[in-house]
Amino acid sequence: EVQLVESGGGLVQPGGSLTLSCAASGFVFTSFEMNWVRQAPGKGLEWLAYIGSSNTVIKYADSVKGRFTISRDVAKNSLVLQMKSLRVEDTAVYYCARRRGYGSGGPTDFWGLGTLVTVSS
């Protein structure tokens, strides 16, 4: 069974840093593109970043470029999102999500339950 479990959320002051992790199981972690997506309270989904299956391709949304870093810890089967210079508007539920390959149609087919990040003084 595919499982994605996020952790690391919490309360942080503006300008602070936080690292989120997503423990993956039930599939070959290195064979899939992995994404971070967030949802501010009462708002829509915002894609943040992805890391390709080979780790050679990494892309960010303009809203987080230069502040957030996505990485993959293969030994721990874990996806990581390092966040710095956090702003009040970064307050959201952060989801880890797996995207199927283009040969399988390519949608984002599994999501974690999310972890809440609150940026406030």
Partner 1 sequence: DIQMTQSPSTLSASVGDTVIITCRASQSVSPWLAWYQQKPGKAPAVLIYKASTLESGVPSRFSGSGSGREFTLTITNLQPDDFATYYCQQYYGDSRAFGQGTRVEI
Give residues in contact with partner 1 (CB under 8 A): 35, 37, 44-47, 50, 59, 61-62, 95, 97, 99-100, 102, 105-109, 111-114
Closest separation in Å from C-beta 82 to partner 1 = 19
Closest separation in Å from C-beta 62 to partner 1 = 7
Beta pairing partners, 13: none
Q: Is 97 exposed, middle or buried (0-12, 13-18, 19+ CB in 10 A)?
A: buried
Q: Judged by CB, which is closer to partner 1: 11, or 113?
A: 113
Report CA 68 to chain centroid distance, whole Å.
10
Give which of 25, 28, 36 is closest to 53, Cα–Cα.
28
Q: Judged by CB, which is closer to partner 1: 86, or 97?
A: 97
Q: Judged by CB, which is closer to partner 1: 11, or 40?
A: 40
Other C-beta atoms closer than 10 Å to the C-beta of 44 total 6
